[in-house]
Chain A
Amino acid sequence: MNDEPLDLLPEMLLFGGAVATLLTGSFVSRQRQWLARLVAVAALSGSLVAAITVASDPAMMIYGSTYMLDTATSLARIVAPAAALLVIGLSVERIAGSRRESEFYVLILLASLGSVLLAGSTDLLLLIVAYLLASIPLYALAGWGRDARGAEAALKLYLMGALLGIVMMLGVTVLYGVGGGSTAYATLAAGLATAPASALALGFVATLAGLLFKVGAVPAHFWVPDAVQGASTGAAAFLTTVPKIGGLIATYRLVLLIPDERVAWPLLIAVVAAATMTLGNLAAFAQDSPARLLGYSTVSQAGYLLMAVAVATKTDQALPALLFYLAVYAVTNLGAFAAVAAFPNAHTIQDYRGLAHRRPAIATVLLVCLLGLVGTPPTGVFIGKVTVFAATWEGGMAWLVVVAAVNTVASLYYYLRWIAPAFARSSDALPLDPRHATIGAATVCGVAAVALGVASGPTLSALGGAVLP
């Protein structure tokens, strides 16, 4: 047991940064909101650096047994603020000088903190708190633009989030009740081992519901396309990236609690994974709006990610595979969203016609990120897919690998529908007005998406640590 406050420095920097950004934003004039941005960027960078410096420390549990510091939490501590920085980079031109600029940063900081806490919590009560902290800022973020579509996005997200949050609390209550009156995972596991199977199943499924909402997985995925289309592109990129990090790691920790001889959760998660990737891909087929297309694509990606959770207890490759896929998914997905954010007046995939000739750099990023999401080598997602597929196969679910492979082929279809016009020759193309900082952020994502693939060796080795003591 260890109660050093400094152990939570990355989290505290996020929280302190949110407060400082809010105060700065409230006190400076609208022309000088860049000060608030500076504070937010500094807080995120500080949190990132602090997390990296302690990333290789041995795993330990702090504050009783409520919070776990291990490889999984470290990954969330690194990827969440890094993704938040990229989101700020790709949306800064959209929001700079806006009336609610500093609020955007505050919400992003708080939601990042929520995602990190979700990843680290090893206590059901903390899990609830983290869920709320990771969800409530997102409701505001989705409606940040204050237009009709933003309102619809926020409302949809809020209704789903509130409903599933309550279901989750019900689940936590049941688990608490049948687990011998403890909320800490460390002691709960023993209690749940003798709990009645039906109550255990109810508690687990209800708790899982909230996490599936965070992950954007079937059947809690309905908010994804509408929120992605209604929210500003930067907010959409954030919504589909950062909550997944915390949500999936929390799911991973939760399933380890449940004895699989009592509740067949590996099969349940596998079915959810298969349904998620299939529905996401099928729905993406018909989309003409790049944002909606990417929204459904993130649903299908959640399916691939859940594959690793399904074999959590079957192979020790599951966790490194999950964490690596999360990291590469984050940069690749953000890169694709950045390509959308760069051209705010392009509303359909046909509007990208001829992009490669006029803007070869951003077209290349788009190509790299979309093919990356498919899993074309040498991008990071390819290595992520190989490791997740291998872990799933090793965990005895070869059928799920086949389902995922078929889904990957299907997904190629809609990504190509977007790539094809972008690389077609065209004279009557829409005049595009690119945003330069956004292109910068996109380039960073594109380079990182490939670099993480080519140099995946050290990253994967570093992620080989254990998840629970």
Chain B
Amino acid sequence: MLSLLIFLPLAPAVVLVAGRRIPDRVARWIWLVASLLELGLAGAMWIDYAGHYDGTELAYETDFDWIPAAGVGYHIGVDGLSLPLVVLTAVVFASCAVYAMREQRRPRQLAALFLALETVSIGLFAALDLIVFFLFFDLSLVGMYFVIAGWGHRATATRSAFKFFLYTFLGSLALLVGFIGLYVAADPHTFDMIELTEQLPLADTGLGGGLVLLAVGVGLAIKTPTFPFHTWLPPAHTDAPAIGSAVLAAVMLKMGTYGFVRIAMPMLPDSWRQWAWAIVAIGVVSVLYGALVALAQSNFKRMIAYTSVNHMGYILLALGAAGLVADSDVEARAVAVTGAVTQMVSHGLITAALFLLAGVLLSHGGTYEMDHYGGLARTTPRFAGLTAIAAFASLGLPGFSGFIAEFQIFAGSLGPATWATALALLGILITAGLFLWALHRIFLGPPKDELSHIADTTVTQTAAIAPLLALSVLIGVYPRVLLDVVDPASRMVVELVAR
């Protein structure tokens, strides 16, 4: 069933690539129907899983030999860590398909590309074999390269796509080197994640484990991205189309953070504990740096891009704190990890919404520069309302998923990493300030020039964005739907790290 979920979008993608005669309108509908079908399937899987399994159990597992001579198997399955991200992926892709119902530029190819990307993204979160994980990881880069290069807005799109690909590919190869290190150290040699988690091939090797963690960590940190590996992100986002940015930020950044919980922490617990303070430090620097640079932006989309660096920093802070075993109780660290996973889902929903809103701003107003707008609240009430909700959600106001996530991160990290958490709290303050200032510049005050009379969000745009925010509110008001699945899985991760 999981394989079906992974490869379902691929079939319409192949049809769309092969059928050169398919009219644009039909292509868009195929895309929409396939995405909604996928969403339904993922939702059904979620309900089934939440009803029958505890978050620590693997479900829908498939495992057969793929390249036995190299210890590679097609091993997939989901548990409380990956299932929320699988469902998030389906949600974000479906909302992108809705948003793109008005897309005029080569919708057939775009639909095929996005459906293929959906397969790749869901496959990555379901992978339980390092090579399968890497395969999807690399293919996601190829897909996103073409999204940015092919549908980017400005003349610099090709350059940005180039930079994105080179940079993240460097990360993926660092990751591969780390994977090979794990493979070679394991006995018998294997790439299977479950076996590697049980075996702990690099336990007590000191330097060896540290170097492999360094390779894996750099690879994931580039993808996440954290300071100082984030430089590919702003140009990629600025030049990507709205739905490309949404997928890049909401889904693909999670590939990095998910890798930390799925691969780095359980397979290299010794080294993780040993270097936890460094991870905490990188997290805090990302939080503050991302927030401060975002504050300095005049470009709405770049600002959102930098807040991603900030939000990903919180996740790293929590995961690092979970490794500071010495002076904290299990309970607090489990709360931190739960917060981190919740933050992945929450950031996915909110940032996807924000990037789609940035797309509305560009398509209706022609620029992302906030200084060109003003007083939009009167002329575009729906746009203003949605943006305000998304901004408040993003800065972590209670009632939204972001609050649940950040509250747990801070509550869980405060014990193990007191000073770092206190510093990171400043990040909340800065993001609150920058979002309010952005809202102020765009929506309040007198209109600046003729650009201020832009059209409001269309029905399809609203239909794409509103559900994302509704889900964020649902998690914010009734977090148990998510936490019941995530919490046991987080405890498992904390136990694995403490080994």
Show the binding face of A for B, using Cβ within 8 Å. 320, 360, 371, 374, 376-378, 382-383, 386-387, 389-390, 393-394, 398, 401-402, 405-406, 408-409, 412-413, 416, 420, 423-425, 456-457, 460-461, 463-464
Contact = CB atoms under 8 A, between A and B. Distances in A.
Contacts of B146: 423
DSSP majority for the A interface?
helix
24 contacts: A320-B69, A376-B138, A377-B134, A382-B135, A383-B67, A387-B70, A389-B176, A390-B70, A390-B180, A393-B184, A394-B184, A408-B173, A409-B166, A409-B170, A409-B173, A416-B162, A416-B165, A423-B150, A457-B65, A457-B72, A460-B67, A460-B70, A461-B69, A464-B69
B53 interface: no
B189 A390 contact: yes
Given A398-B181, A402-B177, A409-B170, 4 more contacts: A377-B135, A383-B70, A405-B174, A420-B161
Interface in B104-131: 131
Given A377-B135, A390-B183, A393-B181, A413 B166 contact: yes
A356 to B, nearest CB: 9
A287 B67 CA distance: 37
Contacts of B66: 457
Closest 3 pairs between A and B when the two form their complex, measured CB to CB? A460-B69, A377-B135, A457-B67
In this complex, the interface size class of chain B, counting residues with CB under 8 Å from chain A, is 20 to 34
Contacts of A457: 65-69, 72
B149 A456 contact: no
Nearest to A413: B166
A416 B142 CA distance: 11
A463 B67 CA distance: 12
Interface in B138-153: 138-139, 142, 146, 149-150
Given A320-B69, A376-B138, A460-B67, A393 B165 contact: no
B68 A461 contact: yes
A424 B158 contact: yes
A420 B162 contact: yes
A290 B375 CA distance: 54
B46 interface: no
Contacts of A376: 138-139, 142
Interface residues of chain B: helix, strand, loop or mixed (majority): helix
A264 B165 CA distance: 39
Nearest to A392: B180
Contacts of B161: 420
A374 to B, nearest CB: 8
B174 to A, nearest CB: 7
A382 B137 CA distance: 13
A353 to B, nearest CB: 11
Given A390-B70, A461-B68, A405 B176 contact: yes
Interface centre among B65, B161, B184 (most CB of A within 10 A): B184
Looking at A360, A386, A394, A460, which has the most chain B CB atoms within 10 Å of its CB? A386
Interface string B31-72: 000000000000000000000000000000000011111101
B180 A389 contact: yes
B112 to A, nearest CB: 11
Contacts of A320: 69
A320 B65 CA distance: 18
Contacts, number: 83
B16 to A, nearest CB: 12
Contacts of A425: 150
A401 B177 contact: yes
Contact of B173 (A394, A405, A423, A460): A405
Nearest to A424: B158
Given A416-B166, A420-B149, A378 B135 contact: yes
A371 B139 CA distance: 10
A363 to B, nearest CB: 12
Contact of B70 (A386, A402, A424): A386
A398 B208 CA distance: 11
Nearest to B159: A420
Given A377-B138, A424-B158, A390 B67 contact: no
A457 B68 CA distance: 6
Contacts of B72: 457
B169 interface: yes
A377 B140 CA distance: 11
A426 to B, nearest CB: 12
A77 B166 CA distance: 38
A17 to B, nearest CB: 33
Contacts of B70: 383, 386-387, 390, 456, 460
A412 B139 contact: no
The listed residue with most A CB atoms (<10 A of its CB), out of B142, B146, B169, B174, is B169
Contacts of B134: 377
A28 B35 CA distance: 62
A357 B271 CA distance: 49
Contact of B165 (A378, A390, A412, A424): A412
A394 B66 CA distance: 21
Contacts of A386: 70, 131, 176, 180
Nearest to A457: B67
Contacts of A383: 67, 70
Contacts of B67: 383, 456-457, 460
A371 B158 CA distance: 17
A131 to B, nearest CB: 32
A464 B149 CA distance: 42
Contacts of A378: 135, 139
B177 A389 contact: yes
Contacts of A371: 142
B177 to A, nearest CB: 5
Nearest to A393: B184
Contacts of B139: 376-378
A420 B148 CA distance: 12
A420 B158 contact: yes
Contact of A424 (B149, B169, B174): B149
A412 B166 contact: yes
B268 to A, nearest CB: 16
A382 B20 CA distance: 30
B407 to A, nearest CB: 39
